[in-house]
């Protein structure tokens, strides 16, 4: 009886190993397949599990007024970009660390430390738009090789994740680990961060905000000495500012005097943020 158990375990481990390889090969083959509704459902489920881990690491601030405000702003920006099939959720994390995170499917978080450095709504819009861009460009899904695009041959991403024998959970755990490391240890690929800056800036301009908001915020991060902290998971900030500046120049987006909404930002966020929750 004991030997049968050993054989069962061995068979399971081997099938699981080969399934993992197969999953990646198949996911890779699907890079050009168009997105199906079931792919998006899987992406949201995956992103939600990752979001549960983020708020497990850093407590979520449950201040309804402030959270509604960043959701109003974030959703307004997201309306001006692609992937309208997603419902976005924006939250504030109770940590002095200066950072922001997003997970596939529409979950975006900004830290209290980050909000304390922001001076107006266009800067906050820039940070949220950078995170929205990671979602619309599916950076995490691409990095963990779970982008499913090409219609036809092999079915959807959901099918791939469930696998031929339904052995879904182990693969999901491994991929969640990988995604968590991207957010908190490894960071995104350099080009993905620059793309998120560029797309984020496009989004805030299309939303009617001062497109220099993100650049101004990054400059302040450097001035206040938080550069090293943010650079643990992001490219060199001076270089990001230079690249953004070139983009703003090329697209005639400098010195436009568009809305910054400093007063509204302060009314909702700034004054009460420094008080003890």
Partner 1 sequence: MNVRGPFVILILSSLAYGRELLYIQSLKAPIFQNPKLGSKEVAILKKGDKVTSIGKSDGWYRVTHGNVEGWIPSLLVSKEPPLERISITEREVDVKDTARRRASGYTTAAAVRGLLEDRYRANQKYMLDLESIEWLESLNISKEKTIEFEEGRD
The least distance separating partner 1 from the CB of residue 231, rounded to whole angstroms, comes to 25
Burial of 266 (C-beta count, 10 Å sphere; 0-12/13-18/19+): middle
* Helix-then-strand count for the chain, H and E: 14, 3
The least distance separating partner 1 from the CB of residue 217, rounded to whole angstroms, comes to 19
Query: 101 and 196 in contact (C-beta within 8 Å)?
Result: no
DSSP-assigned states of every residue in 12-53: HHHHHHHHHHHHHHHHHHGGGSPPPHHHHHHHHHHHHHHHHH
The least distance separating partner 1 from the CB of residue 116, rounded to whole angstroms, comes to 21
The least distance separating partner 1 from the CB of residue 255, rounded to whole angstroms, comes to 10
Which positions touch partner 1 (CB under 8 A)?
5-6, 8-9, 12-13, 34-35, 37, 40-41, 44-45, 48-49, 51-53, 55-57, 59-60, 62, 64, 67-68, 71-73, 75-76, 79-87, 89, 91, 107, 136, 165-170, 173, 180, 199, 202, 205-206, 211, 250-253, 256, 261, 264
By beta-carbon proximity to partner 1, the closer residue of 99 and 136 is 136
The least distance separating partner 1 from the CB of residue 7, rounded to whole angstroms, comes to 9
By beta-carbon proximity to partner 1, the closer residue of 225 and 257 is 257
The least distance separating partner 1 from the CB of residue 253, rounded to whole angstroms, comes to 5
Query: 187 and 233 in contact (C-beta within 8 Å)?
Result: yes
By beta-carbon proximity to partner 1, the closer residue of 33 and 230 is 33
By beta-carbon proximity to partner 1, the closer residue of 42 and 143 is 42
By beta-carbon proximity to partner 1, the closer residue of 180 and 226 is 180
By beta-carbon proximity to partner 1, the closer residue of 202 and 226 is 202
- Could you tell me how far CA 39 lies from the centroid of its own chain? 17
At 102, list the tokens. 């997003």
Edge-to-edge strands, sheet with 89-93: 89-93, 107-111, 100-103
Query: Which SS3 state, helix, strand or coil, does residue 234 take?
Result: coil
By beta-carbon proximity to partner 1, the closer residue of 60 and 154 is 60
Q: Would the CA dihedral through 251, 253, 259, 261 be positive or negative?
A: positive
The least distance separating partner 1 from the CB of residue 179, rounded to whole angstroms, comes to 12
Q: Which residues, including other chains, have CB under 8 Å from residue 45's CB and lie 6 or more apart?
A: 105
């Amino acid at each position: 009886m004991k030997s049968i158990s050993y054989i069962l375990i061995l068979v399971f481990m081997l099938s699981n190993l080969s399934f993992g390889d197969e999953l990646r090969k198949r996911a890779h083959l699907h890079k050009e397949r168009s997105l199906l509704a079931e792919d998006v459902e899987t992406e949201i489920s995956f992103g939600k599990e990752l979001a549960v881990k983020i708020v497990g690491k850093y407590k979520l601030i449950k201040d309804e007024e402030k959270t509604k405000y960043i959701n109003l702003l974030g959703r307004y920006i997201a309306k001006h970009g692609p992937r309208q099939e997603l419902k976005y959720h924006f939250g504030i994390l109770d940590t002095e660390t200066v950072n922001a995170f997003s997970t596939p499917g529409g979950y975006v978080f900004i830290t209290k430390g980050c909000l304390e450095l922001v001076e107006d709504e266009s800067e906050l819009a820039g940070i949220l738009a950078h995170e929205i861009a990671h979602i619309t460009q599916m950076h995490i899904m691409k990095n963990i090789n779970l982008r499913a695009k090409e219609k036809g041959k092999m079915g959807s991403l959901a099918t791939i994740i469930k696998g031929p024998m339904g052995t879904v959970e182990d693969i999901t755990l491994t991929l969640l680990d990988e995604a968590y490391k991207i957010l908190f240890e490894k960071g995104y690929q350099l080009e993905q961060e620059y793309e998120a800056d560029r797309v984020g800036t496009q989004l805030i301009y299309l939303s009617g905000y001062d497109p220099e908001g993100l650049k101004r915020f990054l400059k302040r991060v450097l001035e206040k000495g938080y550069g090293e902290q943010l650079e643990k998971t992001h490219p060199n900030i001076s270089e990001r500012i230079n690249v953004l500046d070139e983009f703003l120049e090329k697209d005639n987006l400098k010195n436009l005097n568009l809305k910054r909404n400093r007063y509204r930002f302060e009314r909702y966020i700034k004054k009460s943020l420094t008080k003890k929750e």
